[in-house]
Each structure stands twice: as C-alpha cells, then as structure tokens.
Chains A and B, each alone.
Chain A
C-alpha cells in the first residue's frame, strides 16, 4: 500500500498562501507528474509530500497513514533533486550507502544494494570516484541510484533533468521511464515544467496554477479535453490559439464566430441557453492548415515565418485582438511575410470555452 492522498492540503509561508487547498489521490504504483508555470507551487507540493516543509493545514496520507508529523526519513520516500545534492566529499559508493549506514544496515546488505543500483544505472566503473569527477548526467544517475538504494515506496523527482543538456535529458528521461517499468510497485511523483517530460512519462498529469489544481488526467486527456483555458493554453507547444468569440447557436448544431474569423460549426456540447453569449474559441496551431477562402476560419497576412525544417510556424494577423494566430504547418512551407493566407481546421479539432474560461465538453 503506497498510495499518496492529499486532502485540503494548504501551505503558507508567513502571510503568503502558496498551496491553497489541494485534493489529490495518487494510486499505488502510479507515475504522476506535476506541471505548471514557475511559482505555481508544484515544487512546494512535492516538498510537502517529502516532509521537507510542514503542512499548514489538511492531511497527507502515504500508504493510508497520516504522515503530517512524520519525519522525511520515516515516510518511505526517496527524492532526487534538481541540483543532484550529492555529498561532495564522499565517493559515489558512499553517497549511495549514506542512508543505509545511518540506518545501521549490515555491510553485506549495503554492498549488495549499492552494487545492484550501480548496475541498473551503469555506474559500476565510477563507484570510487568523487562527484566532482563525474559529468552532469552521471551525477544525476548517482542521485537516482542513491534514491533507489533507499528502496522507497514513493519516489520523488524535483525537476531532475533541468540541469542536463538536451541530449542527456532525452537519454535520462528514457532511463527514468525504464526505472518506472522495473519498479512497478513504486509510486513516482515527478515535478517538471517540461511538457515533453510530462507527456512521455506520466500515467497522470496534475496541472497546477497559483497553488491550485487546474486539472488531473492522462496526458492525452489533458491534450484533447482540457477543462479550462489555462490547461488548454498550458498543454501543447506552441500554445493553443485562443480568440474571443460569440456563441451563435447551441444544441445539436452549435456554431460560434471567433473575433476576426468566420462563423464555424463545432462538434462540442454547447447548451442552447448559451446562445448569444461571449466565450473563447480555441484551436491548436498544429490543427490549422492552409485552405481556400471558402473553408477558412481565419484570413490574414503573415507577420513572421519561422522555418524549423520539420515544421513551419507562421504568425498571421487576422484582426483577432492582440495576438496573431499561430499555425504550425507540416514540412517547409513556401510562404513569405506579407502574403495573405486562409487558415482552416477540422471541426472536431476545435475548442470552445465559456465566459469563465471553462471548457464546453467536446464530442469524441
């Protein structure tokens, strides 16, 4: 039993409320990723679970037991820090053995576990080196190895890949995914601001904003059915185009008119009562394609063209409030600044949010 349950967990530093009441149930063996913008409280939430910060209000249960007052070392957790936090004066071996030595484990037991962890992470040749003689990726592997040695029931990662360069990040990400597969009973909680990490690693993603949970769901769930504007704009890169719109009709054949665009039918459950109300129309850049004037939602002149080889990003001024509409076109599109283009999208790819930013449910 290594579920983690938070109910109405709050945290304040002085008068500043950082976590404003979080309810979350993490199942046994689940890989949960916390994402959110800087300062949203995702790291604080992880530190509350680790016991590095005291919980101001609410209860935290690990494995069914309330652990609000239990010291970190007794919670059955292990944590991997962004900055590795290795003990600089100890060899890799001693770094990994430190916790067990404190717990007065036998020499054989320590040796066995350190060797096993080193084996998994290919650290065996470096066991007697000091951290300063290792590369960044190796250091982070040592940090992960140290956590494995604790044989934790809950594994906590605090932005573990942020200090690595791009190539190492991908490699280490895959290693973490493998690690999760090899330890199916271990619950993992992972904090990141990197969407790719979140999408690829998570069983479920928790999107946090300003100390509150915006939405919890599987990666595809969040991508396809964002609950609200914040999640819609946060998940996906580049961010979803959101344009104020008027709801022309609801019910069976809902139609909305985005600002600067033409009326468009959507496959979304919009109640008839919403007719005539203001809302927000959303469409992901990758769903927009070049089309003819008849099928276009937006028409405008290109402001910027960014060719990335794999895709071409165009910023089109369609008279939609402040931001230009961004479209992500496949391949190398032969377009120039100043050209007029027509952008369209399949009707099932569109999103509509009500005046409060809450999403109308899309039909699948």
Chain B
C-alpha cells in the first residue's frame, strides 16, 4: 500500500511538473504567435492577451476650417467625421483639450466655450454648432478616445519575408543547418559502432579522448579554428567565409557529443543480436547497416533534433564563419540586425521571431515519433 501510495503521489507531482513546463513553454510561444498576427497599431499600444478585446487609444482629429461652415436655423454648423481621413473604431469620449480627451461621452453635446457646442457620435461623425459665425482659417482640434476592434493580419509576415530579408536568411539558415546536422550524424554513427562493437587497439583511449573533447568550450576554440581554417583555405585558394567552413565547424563541435551518445546507445544493443548476425555471415558493415542503424533510429533521431536545434539557434559560430552579406546572413544574425535597426517595430520582430522558431517546431514534431521507446521489443527475452 505504501508503495502504491508513493507511486500515486509521484504521479501527481509528475503531472504538475509537466503541466508547469508545458505552460512555461507554450504561453510565450503562443503570445509571440498572436502578436505577430496583430495589427501593428494595436500591437504597439496593448499586450497580446488583449488581442480579442477592443483596444482604446487617444487620437486627435480636426474639424473642417470655418470656411466650410453652413448656416442652419440661425446657427452656424461645421460637420464632419473623425474617421474620414483614415482610422476606424468607435469613439468613446472626446474633448477639445489635449489633457482631457475624456471631457464628454460620445453622443453627448458638450459646451466648449463661446456658446459653441460640440457633439461627437460613436461612429465618429461630429457637429459643431455656434450662434455666431466661426472665424479663423484653421479648424478646431478635437481630441478623442477611440476603441479599435481586434484586427488580425498577415501583413507583418508579408513585410518581413519580402522586405526585411528574413526570407533570404531563412534559406541561408537551412543551407547551414541541414548539412551540419547530417554530416556529424553520419560520421558519429560509424564511429559509435566501431567504438562499441569492434575490437581494435587504442579503442579505450579513443573513447576517453572523445569524452574529453566534450568539455572543450566553444568560445576557446572558435578563433583558433577560424585561423586554422583560413590558413588552410589560403593554401588551397578557398574563400575564408563559406558554407563548407561552417559545416565543418559545426560538425567538429557536434561530433564528441554525437559519438558519445550514439556509442552508449549502440553499446547497449543486445550482444546476441550481433553474434547471431555474425554467424549468419554478416560483416561488420552488414551488421552496421542492416541491424545497428535501424535499431538506433531513436538515438539518431534524438541526436538530430539536438544538433539541428543547436545549429539553427547558433549565432556565434555563424557570425565567425559566415560573412555579413545578404546571401550568408542566417536568421539569428538577421534578427540581431533587425533588433538594432528596427527595434521599435514590434510587428517585424515578432513575425521574424516566429518564422525562426517555426522550423525547430516542425523538426521536433515530425521526429518525436522516433523518440518512443520499445523499438527493441521482441528481440531478446521478453
């Protein structure tokens, strides 16, 4: 009973923890997504959680000049619509002083001095009535508070993809990420099999070397690597900043962890399966291709996710190994640029950021089915 009880309580703890993690992750992502779809005017004045409610903002309109006044029933009238020159929504309140746009409620008739009365309706239409003729050349300014209905648009994405260069950077990022994920996985899988199942002198030493390389900080090795790469590049007459360079760099930084993880997984495969295959006449290569690779799919998939995300989100290696011109600027670097040049344009930043996280999301969701356990079920005693 005690065991059952503790298991139950740990189950609840697990559920709560998972719920917290899900909320922590989902809420900002969702907020980012909603923000990126909102109208840029609304985005700048209210938070994403108000996206479905009417946004209120203070605006200024101007009555027509006195020259347009009409005489009616012995009074002089200036009429118009506050939304005539653009804008939409409903007027909540209005006034004639900038300090107090809430002086009168919409629909009310307010006395604004000199016997002049002003009526502004919710739809923006207004009427100024005066017993004497209006004078002067400019119209009266009207300050009002208007509520805007929620508005969602794809304009932000259109702008970002077309003019902000995110589209090109998206392609650049993919150009970096896909080979930089596949190359290390391929190399690591071979190495992991050899380190796990092939007997050769120095195997333990090699493995400890790999483990040692796990802890080499990237910051320390980045510049020496670049220098080395450039020197070798110069020797062969290759450009300093190329995609091949960053592929090699990412491969190098990813390999220790990849080999280490895959070796541990592959070493855990049942020995009898390999022996059985050897009796069946399989060479090491046959065993690797026909048995170890298919059985290691979960490990390969999880490492690909890690490597993909790490490369996709990487900024340091990219700015060191790639140039700043349009055809080499990756998404992360582009975002940094945008933060500097258009830091106040929230609609651009949110849309760009969402495009940036879209790919990792797709990668994770499409590969996560490989992460399920139990691929080995049925091979050995069950």
Contact A73 B380 (CB under 8 A): no
How long is the Cα–Cα vector from A362 to B380 in the complex, in angstroms? 46
Q: Are A81 and B281 in contact (CB under 8 A)?
A: no
B279 and A88 within 8 A (CB) = no
Q: Name the segment of B89-97, B115-123, B124-132, B371-379 touching the other chain.
A: B371-379
Stretch binding the partner chain, chosen from B136-144, B269-277, B339-347: B269-277
- Contact check, B279 vs A72: say whether CB atoms are below 8 A apart: yes
Binds B, one of A21-29, A95-103, A272-280, A333-341: A95-103
Is the pair B272, A72 in contact by a Cβ cutoff of 8 Å? no
**Given A83-B270, A85-B272, A89-B295, does the pair A132, B277 have CB atoms closer than 8 Å?**
no
Per-residue CB contact flags for chain A residues 159-177 toward chain B (1 = under 8 Å, else 0) read 0000100000000000000
How many angstroms between the C-alpha atoms of A126 and B270 in the bound complex? 24
- B68 at interface by CB-CB < 8 Å: no
CB proximity of A156 to chain B, nearest CB, Å: 9
* Residue B294 lies at the interface, judged by CB distance under 8 Å to chain A: yes
B279 & A87 in contact (Cβ 8 Å cutoff): no
Are B279 and A102 in touch, CB under 8 angstroms? Answer: no
CB <8 Å contact, A87 and B275: no
A 76-135 contacts with B by CB, 8 A = 77-79, 81-89, 98-99, 102-103, 130-134
* Chain A residue, CB-CB nearest to B272: A85
Given known pairs A84-B380, A102-B286, A132-B382, the reply for A89 and B375 (CB within 8 Å) is yes
Given A79, A134, A150, which contacts B378 in the complex, CB threshold below 8 Å? A134
Which of B272, B286, B379 is most buried by chain A, counting CB atoms within 10 A of its CB?
A: B379
A133 touches B378 (CB 8 A): yes
CB–CB B276/A81 < 8 A = yes
Contact of A87 (CB < 8 Å), options: B273, B278, B374, B377: B273
User: Which size class do A's interface residues fall under?
Assistant: 20 to 34
Chain B contact residue count (CB 8 A cutoff): 25
> Quick one: given A98-B277, A102-B281, A150-B280, are A87 and B286 in contact (CB under 8 Å)?
no
Residue A326 CB within 8 A of the other chain? no
Q: Is A139 on the interface with B (CB-CB < 8 A)?
A: yes
B301 interface residue, CB < 8 Å from A? no
Tell me the bound Cα distance from A260 to B380 in angstroms. Answer: 51
Q: In the complex, what residue of chain B is closest to A88 when comparing beta carbons? A: B379
For residue A81, which residues in chain B have a CB less than 8 angstroms away from its CB?
A: 272, 275-276
Residue of A nearest to B199 (CB): A54
Contact call A99/B281, Cβ cutoff below 8 A: yes
A44-62 interface mask toward B, CB cutoff 8 Å, 1 = contact, 0 = none?
0000001110000000000
Residue B291 at the chain A interface, CB threshold 8 Å: yes
Is B291 in contact with A78, judged by CB distance below 8 angstroms?
no
Is the Cβ of A73 less than 8 Å from the Cβ of B270?
no
Q: A88-B377, A88-B378 are in contact. Are A73 and B276 (CB under 8 A)?
A: no
A136 an interface residue at 8 Å Cβ cutoff?
yes
Inter-subunit contact A73/B376 (CB<8 Å):
no
Query: Which residues does chain B contribute within 8 Å of A131, judged by CB atoms?
Result: 378-379
Q: Which residues of B contact A98 (CB under 8 A)?
A: 277, 280, 282, 290
Contact among A50, A85, A133, A150 with B273 in the assembled complex (CB-CB below 8 Å): A85
Interface pair B379/A86, CB less than 8 Å apart: yes
Taking CB atoms, residues of chain B closer than 8 Å to A136 are 381-382
Q: How far is the CA of A131 from the CA of B295 in the complex (A)?
A: 14
Within 8 A of A (CB), among B225-280: 270, 272-273, 275-280
Distance in angstroms between the alpha carbons of A71 and B290 in the assembled complex? 19
Residues on the A chain within 8 Å of B378, using CB: 86, 88, 130-134, 139
CA distance A83 to B277 in the complex (A): 14
Residue of A nearest to B269 (CB): A88
| Distance, CA A327 to CA B374, complexed state (A) | 49
Specify which chain B residues have a CB less than 8 angstroms from the CB of A103 in the assembled complex.
281
- List chain B residues, Cβ under 8 A from A78: 279
Q: Which of B286, B294, B379 contacts A85 (CB 8 A)?
A: B379
Establish whether residues A73 and B382, one from each chain, have CB atoms under 8 Å apart when the complex forms. Answer: no
Cβ of A79 and Cβ of B276 under 8 Å apart? yes
Bound-complex Cα distance A77 to B275 (A): 13
- Closest Cβ of chain B: how far from A341's Cβ, in Å? 44
Among A83, A87, A89, A146, contact of B381 (Cβ-Cβ < 8 Å): A83
Q: Kindly report which residue of chain A lies nearest to residue B377, judged by CB atoms.
A: A132
Q: Out of A52, A73, A83, A133, which one reaches B280, CB within 8 Å?
A: A73
Bound CA–CA A84/B378 (angstroms): 9
Name the residue of chain A whose CB is nearest to the CB of B381: A163
| Chain A residues, Cβ within 8 Å of B295 | 88-89
Residue among A50, A86, A89 making CB contact with B279, cutoff 8 Å:
A50
- Cα–Cα, bound, A83→B276 (Å): 11
The CA of A222 and the CA of B343, in the complex, are separated in Å by 91
User: What is the distance, in angstroms, from B286's C-beta to the closest C-beta of chain A?
Assistant: 6
- CB–CB A84/B281 < 8 A: no
Q: Which residues of A contact B280 (CB under 8 A)?
A: 73, 98-99, 102, 146, 150
Closest to A135 in B: B382
Q: Is the CB of A87 within 8 A of B277?
A: yes
Residues of B within 8 A of A133 (CB): 378
Q: Which residue of A lies closest to B380 (CB)?
A: A83
A-chain residues with CB within 8 Å of residue B382 when the two chains form the complex: 132, 136, 139
Best-surrounded residue of B276, B282, B295, B380 (most CB of chain A within 10 A): B276
B379 contacts across to A, CB distance below 8 A: 84-88, 131-132
Assembled-state Cα–Cα distance A209/B206 (Å): 39
Chain B residues with CB below 8 A from A52, complex form = 275, 278-279
* Residues in B whose Cβ lies below 8 Å from that of A85: 270, 272-273, 275-276, 379-380
Distance, CA A268 to CA B156, complexed state (A): 104
Residues from chain B with a CB closer than 8 A to the CB of A86 are 273, 276, 378-380
A-B contact pairs, 22 of them (CB 8 A): A50-B275, A73-B278, A79-B279, A81-B275, A83-B270, A84-B379, A84-B381, A85-B272, A85-B276, A87-B276, A87-B277, A87-B379, A88-B375, A88-B379, A98-B277, A98-B282, A99-B279, A102-B280, A103-B281, A131-B378, A132-B377, A163-B381
Starting from the known contacts A81-B272, A81-B276, A146-B280, 12 additional A-B residue pairs (CB-CB under 8 Å) come to A50-B275, A50-B279, A72-B278, A73-B280, A81-B275, A82-B272, A85-B272, A87-B291, A88-B376, A102-B281, A132-B379, A163-B381
Which 9 residue pairs are nearest across A and B when measured between Cβ atoms? A132-B378, A73-B281, A88-B379, A85-B272, A99-B280, A131-B378, A83-B380, A132-B377, A85-B276
